[in-house]
Amino acid sequence: MIQTGENSQTSRRLEQAQQDFDGPVHLSQPYPGAPPLWIEPTDTKLRTSIEAAAEWMSRNHDAIERALLSFGGVFWRGFPAAGTDDFIQLMERFEPYSKGYSGGTSDRKAIKGQAMEATRTPPHVYIQLHQEMSYMPSNPRALAFYCKQPSATGGETVLCDMRGLLEEIPQDLRRKFEEYGAEYVRNLRSADVDDFRARPELRHPSWQYRFETDDRDDVSSQLAERGAQCDWHDDGSLTFCTRTPAITVHPQTGDRLYFNQLNSQIQNTYTIGEEREALLQEHYDDTLNRPFAVRFGNGDPFTDEEYLIVHEIFEARKIVFPWQAGDIMLLENKLTAHGRHPFTGERDVQVMIFD
Ligand SMILES: [Fe+2]
């Protein structure tokens, strides 16, 4: 049988994984040429005993690490993960991300140990494809999601294979990413000041809430440690800013990869809708005072037109990934981007980030 380049690469990867993994599991790659490697247990013990599953995970740790690099992600369905404790136990061989999530943009709180809520971003919001904390000078190597409860409708995690994406960006725009890098500006209000930003519909969080402290020095030192510049204002609010390259070379695979969040953090009518954009325009005199702002690292705007070019490339490569309760997915953070579709109902997806 003659195979196309992509098909033969897909089957080579799968053959390699079949050699690497040990035990009663079935391996497949449901989205040819794209993440993740899909793993299902084929015997009752592995399906029902958390001890057996944890032992299998530990024994296959090296194979999981290799698959993470070759597929960009690994997915487990049918393993007995009934709650956060099981999720933590199954992921115990992975090193927690030492810097934690301080300064992160998503509204999420710890659940237990290293496990966090995936996000409190409202259900109607489409969280665009992004690589975790790529707006920070340091960021996690990998992240794992665990679905405790899928939403009634929507709520799929979306994935994007980042290998080859950069090359699809037109050369002029690619050069801007390469030369200028990216800048992210965040403003957090003070919980002690009752100004317009305290209006709930603006969703302008306070630094006290986000950093879980009232101590400015503590916040400043956490941000300095993360490589962010801090600016405290007379009204008690805090602006902090990070500037990073927009492209990275993968330390193991050598792939040159798009690695920034200009397209996922930009606030415009396409990303936040006309109504919210009008609300923000009405209240903020400068886009840089808003809760989020992005631009190129040289101060040039990342325009709506440029956003649309990148957005369409991401959307054309997007994989829509529906959850079932008990599913776990591990992603290599540089090789695979993730996002979330809007949803209805209760959705409980938890996350851990790893070094
Ligand atoms: Fe994320």
Going from the Cα of 3 to the center of ligand 1, the distance in angstroms, rounded, reads: 35
Q: Write out the CATH class of domain 165-313.
A: alpha beta
Contacts of 87 by beta carbon, 8 Å cutoff, 6+ apart: 81, 115, 144, 146, 328, 350, 352
CATH topology of domain 5-119+132-153+322-354: Double-stranded beta-helix (3.60.130)
Q: What is the pLDDT along the chain (355 residues), one digit of tens a residue?
A: 344 556 777 789 999 999 999 999 999 999 988 999 999 999 999 999 999 999 999 999 999 999 999 999 999 999 999 999 999 999 999 999 987 776 677 777 788 888 998 888 889 989 999 999 999 888 999 999 999 999 999 999 999 999 999 999 999 999 999 999 999 999 999 999 998 999 999 999 999 999 999 999 999 999 998 889 899 999 999 999 999 999 999 999 999 999 999 999 999 999 989 999 999 999 998 888 899 899 999 999 999 999 999 999 999 999 998 999 999 999 999 999 999 999 999 999 999 999 9
Going from the Cα of 292 to the center of ligand 1, the distance in angstroms, rounded, reads: 16
Which residue, among 24, 96, 94, has the nearest Cα to 53 in the 3D structure?
24
Going from the Cα of 240 to the center of ligand 1, the distance in angstroms, rounded, reads: 20
Going from the Cα of 348 to the center of ligand 1, the distance in angstroms, rounded, reads: 15
Going from the Cα of 131 to the center of ligand 1, the distance in angstroms, rounded, reads: 6
Q: How many CB atoms lie within 10 A of CB 175?
A: 11
CA distance 65 to 194: 49
* pLDDT for residue 264: 95
Going from the Cα of 157 to the center of ligand 1, the distance in angstroms, rounded, reads: 10
User: Please, are residues 23 and 55 in contact by the beta-carbon 8 Å criterion?
Assistant: no
Spans of all domains in the chain = 5-119+132-153+322-354, 165-313
Going from the Cα of 339 to the center of ligand 1, the distance in angstroms, rounded, reads: 6
- pTM for the structure as a whole: 0.91
Same fold, 5-119+132-153+322-354 and 165-313: yes
In the block, tokens 């981007």 appear at 337
Going from the Cα of 130 to the center of ligand 1, the distance in angstroms, rounded, reads: 6
Reported as a single tens digit per residue, the pLDDT across 204-225 is 999 999 999 999 999 999 999 8
CA distance 328 to 54: 13
What's phi and psi for 132, nearest 5 deg?
-60, 125
CA distance 325 to 334: 26
Going from the Cα of 278 to the center of ligand 1, the distance in angstroms, rounded, reads: 26
CA distance 71 to 201: 41
What's phi and psi for 229, nearest 5 deg?
-90, 140
* pLDDT for residue 3: 46
Going from the Cα of 22 to the center of ligand 1, the distance in angstroms, rounded, reads: 31
Pairing label, strands 115-117, 127-130: unpaired
What's phi and psi for 344, nearest 5 deg?
-125, 160
Going from the Cα of 19 to the center of ligand 1, the distance in angstroms, rounded, reads: 32
Neighbours of ion ligand 1 (CB under 5 A): 132
CA distance 340 to 23: 33
Residues 132, 135, 136: CA angle, nearest 5 degrees: 90
Q: Which long-range contacts (CB under 8 A, 24 or more apart) does 108-116 make?
A: 108/351, 111/84, 111/350, 112/84, 112/85, 112/88, 113/88, 114/88, 114/352, 114/353, 115/84, 115/87, 115/88, 115/146, 115/350, 115/351, 115/352, 116/350, 116/351, 116/352, 116/353
In the block, tokens 């009008």 appear at 278
What's phi and psi for 293, nearest 5 deg?
-150, 145
